[in-house]
Amino acid sequence: MNERWFKQAVIYSLDVETFQDSNGDGVGDIPGLIARLDYLARLGVTCLWLHPIHPTPDRDDGYDVADYYGVNPRIGSLGDFAELLHRARNRGIRVMIDLVVNHTSNEHPWFQLSRSSPDSPYRDWYVWSEARPKYLTEGVVFPGVQERTWTWDDAAQAWYHHRFYEFQPDLNWANREVRLEIARVVGFWLQMGVSGFRMDAVPFVVEDPRADRADGHREFGWLDELRDLISWRQGDLVVLAEANVDRENIPEYFGGGHRLHMLFNFALNERIFLALARQSAAPIREALWWTPTIAEPCSWATFLRLHDEIDLSRLSPGERQECFEAFGPEPEMRLYERGIRRRLAPMLGGDRRRIELAYALQFSLPGTPVLRYGEEIGMGDDLSLPERYSIRTPMQWSDKPNAGFSTAPEDRLIRPVITDRDYGYEQVNVDAERGDDESLLAWFERMLRALRECPESGDGRWMLLDSGLEQVLALRFDGRTGTTVAITNLRDEPCKVDLSTDLGTPDLVLEMFANRRYGTRPRDLASLDLDGWGYRWLRLEFSN
């Protein structure tokens, strides 16, 4: 048996601080999340990815960690976290946490000790240069907001390197003590009972900023060592890596199945948006053709929206402009000269048919789907908030004050709830959708339930079928469990497709999920109807 739980998972991404507040202090917390586990179980998610849970000065929404072995007291205690793991597991839900180890907060004791003296044992845990570095601004991650990647420190009398903001000094992965400590951090949380990690900023972890950048050298041995140190602790652990790199570099990150288990498919993500803008399946077909074949134990993670901007930087300038015009026409909707900082529903004009199309498409692509909290009810964004906070507003549970997120006075909320006319919590909330079979939430529940009966769609070998139509994406998945076919029409016009050549003559065709009941019979495969923006997931049964 080589079952990989993560290949059949539905991963739900959330920040504890904005999900549910239980004690009325305006900040979401672990007991609040525990109280919502039944909601998540009913929705059908099988794994949570929690944004950083550690103590932090919170200058970058927790991505500036001050203690890897603790829980941010604002969201609860280590005991609360253990309780969360226990209760989630009882509902069949696993938990992954963010592993943010390219850098720490500048308030982390390691950095404070490092800068305190050249003789400190922690001195070499960060990347220092006593000489003025040649390029102070090379490689900024947040253009337009961040100015430089080296900053002078008076206490250390040296420059320190930081790929991100100046309050996030980069750890020196070339130092073996650092790597051993990170392995201890990973081992600690595995011992607590997490199932894996979403590893932040991996391309920057494997670069040595003091090496010659021009040669593009990457030190993947560091990741091999980490995997080696931890894989015996827990055999089914998963590292889901954020590595938005050129496609020719991707195989190195998977390392033939011996390095990272999963990567977000960024190239596919930006081409899904190009496909939606053009009402054509061609950009997705291209992205799938380009997608490198990966070793059997590995998997892709698919997504439409995560907690960051949609990164369109690998599209051509013309393609990027098409996406901007379609989904981010106003300058305030764009970010870092490369992306869009909106939720999906407003990007698609709140059009229910297009939202369904987009998510049915994502959930039927090769890989494991990742869903961002609030997308299942069609939440909107708040463009008055700076940078990526526009899409990090509190979950909308009900039409009660503060969207049922918190009983705190409005001015004490960690972030304002959305109150606008179209996406405000009085219109868009879980309570309203929970009781409505026609709601987007009910639709998501049906889709996730259908996905459970198509396990090969995440796990199986996949092939692109020739639909004969530019606007129709047709994918076939074959696994030990059976055969699933997913057909998606990206254009708002009905059409017919003939898949009889690729699909043969099954004895039975089961319609697992579709935009409406089509009533498919085996002989229909030569002429399958698809509504405009329609989708059909079929399961084929053959007698031999």
Interface with Mg ion (CB under 5 A): 21, 23, 25, 27, 29
Q: Which is nearer to Mg ion, 255 or 416 (CB)?
A: 416
Q: Which is nearer to Mg ion, 20 or 291 (CB)?
A: 20
Is the separation of the CB atoms in 333 and 341 below 8 Å? yes
Closest approach of Mg ion to the CB of residue 28, in Å: 6
Long-range contacts of 319-326 (CB under 8 A, 24+ apart): 319/274, 319/283, 322/274, 322/277, 322/278, 323/270, 323/273, 323/274, 323/277, 325/277, 326/273, 326/276, 326/277
Q: Which is nearer to Mg ion, 23 or 313 (CB)?
A: 23
Q: Which is nearer to Mg ion, 23 or 505 (CB)?
A: 23
Q: How far apart are CA 378 and CA 487, in angstroms?
A: 23
Closest approach of Mg ion to the CB of residue 32, in Å: 6
For the chain, the farthest-separated pair of C-alpha atoms sits apart, in whole angstroms, at: 78
Closest approach of Mg ion to the CB of residue 186, in Å: 28
Closest approach of Mg ion to the CB of residue 81, in Å: 14
State how far the alpha carbon of 321 is from the alpha carbons of 259, 267, 393, in Å.
36, 16, 27
Q: Please identify which of the residues 200, 356, 375, 433 carries the catalytic annotation.
A: 200
Strand pairing class (262-264; 238-241) = parallel
Catalytic residue check, 337: no
Closest approach of Mg ion to the CB of residue 44, in Å: 27
Q: Which is nearer to Mg ion, 185 or 408 (CB)?
A: 408
- Of the candidates 257, 239, 261, 263, the one whose C-alpha atom is nearest the C-alpha of residue 295 is 257
Closest approach of Mg ion to the CB of residue 161, in Å: 36
Q: What does the radius of gyration of the chain's CA atoms come to, in whole angstroms?
A: 23
Q: Which is nearer to Mg ion, 29 or 445 (CB)?
A: 29
- What DSSP assignment string belongs to 486-511? EEEE-SSS-EEE--HHHH---SEEEE
What region does 303 belong to: left with phi over 0, alpha with psi -120 to 50, or beta?
beta
Catalytic residue check, 242: yes
Q: Which is nearer to Mg ion, 237 or 417 (CB)?
A: 417
Q: How far apart are CA 52 and CA 105, in angstroms?
A: 12
Residues 6+ apart with CB under 8 A from 66: 54, 55, 56, 57, 104, 105, 107, 108, 109
Q: How far apart are CA 205 and CA 200, in angstroms?
A: 9
Q: How many CB atoms lie within 10 A of CB 151?
A: 16
- Of the candidates 33, 111, 102, 122, the one whose C-alpha atom is nearest the C-alpha of residue 72 is 33
536: β partners: 487, 514
Q: Please identify which of the residues 60, 242, 309, 445 carries the catalytic annotation.
A: 242
State how far the alpha carbon of 281 is from the alpha carbons of 23, 245, 291, 489, in Å.
48, 23, 15, 8
- Of the candidates 357, 274, 271, 350, the one whose C-alpha atom is nearest the C-alpha of residue 536 is 357
Closest approach of Mg ion to the CB of residue 71, in Å: 13
Closest approach of Mg ion to the CB of residue 24, in Å: 7
Secondary structure string (H, E, C) spanning 90-149: HCCCEEEEEECCCECCCCCHHHHHHHHCCCCCCHHHECEECCCCCCCCCCCCCCCCCCCC
Q: Which is nearer to Mg ion, 62 or 346 (CB)?
A: 62
Q: Which is nearer to Mg ion, 21 or 200 (CB)?
A: 21
Closest approach of Mg ion to the CB of residue 23, in Å: 4
Residue showing the smallest CB distance to Mg ion in the complex? 29
Phi, psi of 320 (to 5 degrees): -60, -40
Residues annotated as part of the active site: 200, 242
